[in-house]
Each structure stands twice: as C-alpha cells, then as structure tokens.
A and B are shown apart, each in its own frame.
Chain A
C-alpha cells in the first residue's frame, strides 16, 4: 500500500524536478514508472524509500509517512533494488548477503535458515550459496541484490531497471518473482526502460514527463494511446502495434496476440 499526495521536489529552488505528483497503489498491484532519461524517475524512487523528503505533499508507505520514519526503519515497509548491485553487496558469501536483512529484522535460527533457503531457491542460486558474490556473473549478482531485498519480505518492492542485461532464463525468473510477489499482496513498482517487459509484467503504468505525472493508466490503456506514449517518449511494444495494425484488440504479450488472432480467424 502506497500513497503519494501532491508531492513536489526540487534540488535547487525554482527548478522543480517533480511537481504535483499524486497516485495511490493498492496491495497486489504491479506498477511501472516510465519516462525519458531525466524525467524524474530516479528522484521519485528516492522519495518513495525516504532517501529524499518531498518539499511539499506527503508520501505514506504501508501506514508510515516517509517524513517521520527514519530510512532504516522505513526499509521494513519498502525494499529497494538499485541499478548497481555492487554498491550494496559486502558479504563474502551469497548466503550471508541474503541473510543480512532478515537478521536486522531479528530473525534467527531455523526461521532464518528457512527464509534464506527459500529466497536462494527463488533467485536460482541455491547452488552458489557459499560463493563470493563478486565471483559470479553480473546478472547473478543482480539476483543476489534482489534476493537480499526479498528476504526482508517488504510489503512494497521497488525494482530499478532490474531486467537490464538479463538473459531469457533470468528474465523469466524475474517475471516469476514479480508474479509471486503480486499474488502475495506485495505492491511492486518497476522503474523500467524495456516496454516489452512492462507490457508483460505491469498492471498499470505511471508516465513521467518533465517531472509531472503525464499518465496514470492501465497498461493496455497506456500503450494504446499513441499521443501519450509519444509525449512521454517510450516505445509502443511490438505486440500492441501489430494487433492494432491487424484490427485486433490490443495484445500485451505474444500469448494473448496469438489467442486473439486465432479467435478472430476461427470465426
């Protein structure tokens, strides 16, 4: 559960980076935050996890206002996976890295082992538990960063370009993690340049343009508004363009496109 109310933020007076941003995200929804480089996505992310404070307006994460909750306590409500996993990894073993967060929460013994084991399984690194995180491939390292956050079971999860540089197996694994979190009732926010990934995984899209919330629509509604996607500077996924060109209902994935195409050509 996440509430952003009329938030404005500026690094320097008179030059707002974000203006009048308002949105609410219920539990169990996957929301993509999209926009050009410099549209304010990263700033919004840092407001949500409390690293920045809004100049005006308020942000409430799982019942905690970011303005009066210290960042390290807010971390129990909102987990962030940053773009550079190397900046947060410090343990000599993958398993210790995953266990760090739950230990901070006071978990010990069997409960801790179970939680860490389950996370290692989900990120596909059960076989690398004892390996040094810097001795594994960069994409696996990103999975370690994701796992270290999942292990804290935050009700809100922020993923910043988590899909970048991942191959098919890793992308599929990430999609599964997102779907599982959604099913558990986690609020998931994706900051993402890859519109195909957005189309396949997000329920809703928030489009930022020059620091303003220029779009807040269902994923389908967003990608079928050509003027809006152009103004926000994102690509329309090929599946949406193809189904539009063929006069089909907009399809967000190849699966749905194939189904729609067959259904029509059956009739």
Chain B
C-alpha cells in the first residue's frame, strides 16, 4: 500500500515501514498529544530530552530528513526572535553590560525554555504528520464512528489543494496566451489580479454546487456510519497504550494545575 501512495496528495507524509508507520493513526495521534502535553509542563531539561528523543525516533523511522528540515526552518527565526526580545530588549534586573549590548541571563534562560517547549511540540506534530498518511487518518476516524461529515471536513482541504492550484495555473496560462503581462511591474501584476481571481472564484463556487450534488448522488451522509475498507491495523495492546497515553496527557496537565 505505502509504495503506491507516493504519488498521492499527502503534504509531509513520507512512506515507510517503521513501527510508527504501521501503528494505528489514532495511536500515533495519542502519542502526539501526550508529547505535546508533556512539553507544556516539563522544565527545559525535560523538553530538551523530549525533542532529542523525537529527533532520534524520526531518524530511525526514516522521516528524519524531512522532519528535521521543517523543524530547523520553523525554529531558527523563532529562536532568533526569542533571544533578541527576551535576552536584549526586555529590561530585567540582571541586565549585564557587555559594552555594545546589555544581556540578561534570566531573559536568555526564559527564551531557551520557551524555545525548547515549542520545539518539542513542533517535533511531536512533525513526527505524527510525516508517518501518518491523511487517508489512513480519515479511515481511522470513519472506523471509530466519527460522523462522515467531520472526516470530510478534515480531508477535503488536503485533497482539493492540488486541483485548486492546477486550476489556478490553468487560468494563469489561459490569460497569458490572451496577452496578459505577468512578468512586468508590480503595478501591472496587481492590475492582472482580478483577471486571474474572477474565473477562480466563479469556478470554485460552481464546483461547490456540483460537488454537493455529486456527494448526495453517492449517498454521502445518507447513513450514520460508513464501511471502512483497508482499515488501518489495530490491536488490544494499542488500545491500552492509547488509553494510557491519553490519561497521562490529561494528568500531566491537570496535576500541576491542582497543586498550585
């Protein structure tokens, strides 16, 4: 199955055969939620270990390249911003003059804490989306009796991104061969915008209408449940693991709140 999915819309999904790839998507989801909840409460050392562990897992499962690249792309600007704001800009009692700039160690400490927390949460999410194909997630939701309308709401944006951008490209081409200049000045390009957007919007509206009628023709939401084919594998072990992870996720968040 996985090999055939290479050509399908999947955003960050990277095919593979690892434990995480084979796990039921709901189990992967539970793992992600537990990690996010842990990242929310752990001290900096904990979130650092968590992030490192997640990166290690991503490397082992073969999604490392994609996940780490995305992590660096997102975290680098956040890191710079945090250091500048909390280390240099916000005035704190422990400002320490280095000649050119004043640095606050407690500010840096705070910046690091936030940075690692966000990194751990992001890495948890990346681990999930790189190892779980949206189609399998949709099936897992269907299988658990989630109303078909909800599953569709999740899946259709993913599915329709590609035809929508193809359509946009086709319209752009059609207008270029009619003499519309899209290489010129910014003014020319802004003037060209309505010419491109009008057909895109009218066609999207007419598509919505059509799609509603196609869906009703195929009995979508006619019954409360639908059959799931190629249902993702599940097991009693995974069921208990999920219960444990969900419980931990809630307790981790709840206990510190009660303590205070």
Chain A interface residues toward B at CB < 8 A: 46, 49-51, 70-76, 78-80, 82, 84, 86-91, 100-101, 104-105, 134, 148-149, 152
Contact = CB atoms under 8 A, between A and B. Distances in A.
A148 B175 CA distance: 11
Contacts of B206: 86
B176 A88 contact: no
Nearest to B197: A90
A148 B178 contact: yes
Contact of A71 (B170, B177, B195, B203): B177
B183 interface: yes
B179 A86 contact: no
A51 B173 contact: yes
Which of B173, B174, B179, B195 is most buried by chain A, counting CB atoms within 10 A of its CB? Answer: B179
Contacts of B198: 90-91
Nearest to A78: B177
B12 to A, nearest CB: 23
A104 B194 contact: no
B174 A75 contact: no
B199 interface: yes
Nearest to B174: A88
A75 B206 CA distance: 29
Contact of B183 (A70, A84, A105): A70
A88 B171 contact: yes
B183 to A, nearest CB: 6
Given A72-B181, A72-B183, A86 B176 contact: no
Contacts of B181: 70, 72
A90 B173 contact: no
Contact of A134 (B174, B176, B180, B202): B202
A72 B171 CA distance: 14
Nearest to A75: B179
9 contacts: A46-B173, A80-B177, A82-B170, A87-B170, A87-B171, A88-B175, A88-B199, A149-B178, A152-B179
Contacts of B176: 51, 71-72, 75
